[in-house]
Chains A and B, each alone.
Chain A
Amino acid sequence: MPEAVAMLHITKTFPGVVANKDVNLVVQRGEIRAIVGENGAGKTTLMRILYGLERADSGTIRVKGQEVKIPNARVAIALGIGMVHQHFKLVPSYTLAQNIVLGVEPRRGPFVDHERALREVHELSARYGLTVNGEKKVSDASVGEQQRAEILKALYRGADILILDEPTSVLTDMETDELFIMLRRLAADGKTILFISHKLREVLEVSDNTTVMRGGRVVGTVKTAETSDRKLAEMMIGRETVEIPPREEPPQVGQPVLELEGVDVYDSRGIPAVREASLVIRSGEVVGIAGVEGNGQVELAEAITGLQPIACGRIRLEGREIQNRSTRQIRQAGVAHIPSDRNSTGVALEAQVWENLIAVDYHAPPYSGMLVLAINRILSYAKDVVTRFGVQTPGLKSPTRNLSGGNVQRLVVARELGSNRARVVVAAQPTRGIDIAGTEAIRRMLLEYTGRGAGVLLISADLDEVLALSDRVMVMYRGRLADAGRVDETIRQRVGRLMTGAEP
C-alpha cells in the first residue's frame, strides 16, 4: 500500500505549552488509523496542523508522497484532505444537501442547480452507505445524520484522506456501530481514515493501527489486532510507577464535609449525565475524580454548585442538605467552585480584574452596603489576594482579557479561595493549559486549603494530577462513579481499567 500521509518531526508550541513535540505519523492508503491519548495529549493539534488550521513550528508533511506546505484548509482540501470536527459546522437552516455542496455547488448558468446537487448527494451517499435525506433541514436531522452529512461534505470535495475528531462522542451506541460499518466501507474503497478517540473499545473495534500520544509525543504505534485495551491504557497513562509527592504531613481527616447520595443529573437534552452518584469527602481530604472528559464530570460539578438541578438524591454540606438550592445560597454555605472552562464560565473577560475578583463576595459586608459597593475596600482586598496568589496583572483596573491564560486561572483560584470561607472546593481541571510553575502554585494552594480543614473535590482528565493530589480516587465512566480506592502502587492499573468501563 502506498503512503497517504506522512507527518515528520512535527513540533508545535503554544504560549506556555508544547502541544506536539517531534511527532512522527505515517499512514498508508486505505488504512484506518486511530490516534488515542488523554485530553491535552496533542491529538487534535496534530490533526489541525494536517488540515491547515494550525501551522507547525517545524517538521515536514508529505501527502501522497509529495512534500507539501499546508497554510490553510483550502490547500488541505485541494490535497484531498477532509476533516469532520467534533462540533459540526453545518448551517442549521439549510438542508443537508445544501450543506454538503455549500461553496462548490453545481451550477446551471448563474444559478445553483438544486436538482443536480440533490442527485449527486444521493449518489454519493448510496455509494458509501452514508444514508442521508438531502432534503431534510439540518435542524431536523439527527446527530448521526448530521455527522454523515459532514463526512459526505468532505467526500463531495474529493477528500480521500478523512480526519474524524472524536466522531463517536456525540453518537449513541447504534449510531456508532453504523459509523464503523461506513468507515470500513470507505477504507475498502481506498480512503484513508484518521480517527481521533479516547474510547479504547471503539478504537480496538474499528482501526487497523493505533498511535498512542501522551504529553505531545507519540508513545508508540501498534497493530490494533495485536494489542488490548489494557495495553493501550497503559501506554496512554504511562507505565512508570506513581510518584506521590510527599505531602508535608499526613492529612488530618475529620468529619464528612460533603456527601452525595444517589444523585442523578440530566443534561440539557434530558439525557441522564450523572447516575446514582454517591461520594463522601471528609475534612482535610482531597478526593480525585479521574476519567475521560464528557462522562458527566461537568454535570456533577454543576449539580453540587447549584448550576444544574438534580433529578433525585441528596447533597449534604456538613450535614445540611443543599441540593437544588440557588448558586448563591450554596456558595454562602461554603462551596467554592473552580470551573473547568475559565474563559467562558470562570471570568468575564471584558470586565476589570477587580470586578472578577469580587464577583462572589461583592453582595455582602464589608464589600458593600445595602446599595453601594465599597470600592476602596474591594480594591484593597483585591490588591491583597492578587499578591497572595501571585496573579500577574498590569493593574486591578485592567481588562481581564489582557491577562495570560495562567493568570486568569490564578485569578479564578484567588477569588474562590481568597476569602478563606469555603468548606468544600470543587476544582475542575484546575491546571489545564497552564505552565509548570502555575500548575505547581495552584496545586499547592489547593493542598494548603485542605490543611485548614476544607475538603477538595478534584475533577481532572489529567490522571497524573489526580494521583499527585488526591488521597482517594474515584473514576467517572458514563455518568457513574466507581471507587478506585486509596492512592498506592497499583492505583494506575485500577484507574485504567475503570476508565475504560471495565468492572472494578
Chain B
Amino acid sequence: MSSKARLKGLLIGVAMQAANYALILIMALVVGAAVILVSGKNPIDAYIALFQGALGSPIKIADTLDRSSVLILTGLAAAVAFRTSVWNLGLEGQLYAGAFAAAWVGFSIHGLPSPIHITLCLLAGTLVGGLWGLPAILLKLRWDVNEVVSTLMLNYIAILFTAYLVAFPFRSPTAFMPGTETLDATARLPRLMIPGSVLNIGFLIALAFAFSVFWFLYRTKLGYELRMVGFNPRFAGYAGMPVRRSTFLAMIFSGALAGLGGAVVITGFFGRFISSFSVGYGWDGMVISLLAQNHPLGVIPAAIFYAALANGALAMQSATGVPQALVVTVKGTIMFFVTVQFFIAFLNRRLRQWMPSTS
C-alpha cells in the first residue's frame, strides 16, 4: 500500500470515528434537552451556559484542561488494565491511596529543592497507587479471586481509611473540611503561564504519560504481551508468553497511573489532601477509556471532553438554575449509546464466529 493511500485510509477512519461520536453526542444532548424541557427550563440557554463555562474564554479552556489532567491519567490507568482484560474497578481507591501518599510527602518533608520534592510526591503517589492494586491481583493469581469484586472492595478501604486519617491523626486544625496540612510550596506543581487559571504542569505530565503508555503498549515487548494476553490469554500461553506476569503488571501499572492521577490533582490543584476530594475521577477514567476504545491517545480528547462537561455543568447551574446533575444524564446517555455500539460490534463478531460452524 502506498503511503498516500494509507494516509487516505487513516483520514477516512478518523473522519468516520468523529462523525460517529458527533452523532452520539447530538443524541445525548437531545435526551438532555428533553429532560431540561420537562423541568421547565430553556435547554438552549442551558447548553449555551454549559459551553461558555467549559470553553467560553482562554481561562475557561485552561481550567478545563487542568481538570482533564487527572482524568487523562485515570483514563490511561483503565486503558492499560482493560487492554489486558484485567478488570480493575479499583481506580478510585488507587487514586485516593496515591493522593494521600503524595500529600504526606508534600507536607511532612521540608527544605527540598522544588523539582526533587515534586518528583518525590509524584513517585510516592505512583508507588502507593500501584501497591493498592497488589492485593487484588495476588488474590486473583493465587486463588482465582475475581478482581472485579476485590478491587471494588479495596475502593471502600482506601476512601474510608484516608477519611479516617484526615479526620484524626493527620487532621489539620486550620482546615475547613477534614484534610491534611497544606503542602509545602516546594511540592506544588508550577502553574503554566496563563493568568487567572489553575492550569499547571500536571497537564503536560498527563500528556507525556499518554504518549508513553501508547509507546509502551504498541512498541515494547511487555506492552505487546499485555495486549496479546488481553486479546486471548489461551493464545498467549500457547505461544509461550508469560500470561501471569502480564496480568500482574497490568494491574500494578494501572494502579500506579491512577495513583499518579491522585498525586497530580493534589499537588497541582488542591494543595492538600481533603477527604472525598475526588468527584469520581476513577470511575470517569473507566468511562473515558471505554469512550476512547481503550486507546491511550484516544484518552486525551475523551478526558478533555469529560472535563469540559464537568466545568460547564457548574457554570450552567449557576447561570440558569439547571442542576449540574443534568450533566450526569447527558454523560449517562452518551455511555449508553457508546456501549450499545460496542454491543452491536460484539454481536457482529459473535455472528461471524457462529456462521462457519462446520461438521
Contact = CB atoms under 8 A, between A and B. Distances in A.
Interface of A: 14-15, 17, 19, 39-45, 48, 54, 305, 307, 326-328, 330-332, 337, 339, 343-351, 355, 359-360, 362-363, 368, 371-373, 375, 395, 401, 405, 433
Query: Could you say which of B1, B231, B238, B356 has the most chain A C-beta atoms within 10 Å of its C-beta?
Result: B238
A141 to B, nearest CB: 23
Given A39-B359, A371-B220, A371-B222, 12 more contacts: A17-B358, A54-B357, A339-B238, A344-B232, A348-B235, A350-B232, A355-B228, A359-B235, A359-B239, A362-B224, A375-B219, A433-B358
B120 to A, nearest CB: 25
Contact of A343 (B231, B240, B353, B355): B353
Contacts of A395: 1
B236 A348 contact: yes
A328 B221 CA distance: 15
A334 to B, nearest CB: 13
5 closest residue pairs by CB, A with B: A328-B240, A348-B231, A359-B239, A348-B232, A327-B240
Nearest to A378: B224
A345 B358 contact: no
Contact of B240 (A17, A360, A401, A405): A360
A462 to B, nearest CB: 11
A73 to B, nearest CB: 14
A61 B172 CA distance: 83
A405 B232 contact: no
Contacts of A347: 232, 235
A14 B356 contact: yes
Interface in B199-255: 219-222, 224, 227-228, 231-232, 234-242
Contacts of B219: 372-373, 375
Nearest to A337: B238
Interface string B337-359: 00000000000010011011111
A339 B241 CA distance: 16
Interface residues of B, number: 27
Contact of A359 (B228, B352, B357): B228
Contacts of A19: 358-359
Contacts of B236: 348, 359
Contacts of B234: 344-345
Contacts of A327: 237-240
Nearest to A341: B234
Contacts of A351: 227-228, 231-232
Contact of A42 (B224, B356, B359): B359
Nearest to B215: A372
A331 B358 CA distance: 31
B359 A350 contact: no
A360 B349 CA distance: 26
Nearest to B1: A395
Contacts of A372: 219-221
B228 A348 contact: yes
18 contacts: A14-B357, A42-B359, A305-B238, A307-B237, A328-B240, A332-B240, A339-B238, A344-B232, A344-B234, A345-B234, A345-B235, A348-B231, A355-B224, A360-B240, A362-B221, A371-B221, A373-B220, A375-B219
Contacts of B358: 14, 17, 19, 40, 45, 433
A204 B228 CA distance: 47
Contacts of B349: 401
Interface in B115-148: none
A312 B136 CA distance: 35
Nearest to A364: B221
B238 A401 contact: no
A328 to B, nearest CB: 4
Contacts of A17: 358
Contacts of B356: 14-15, 405, 433
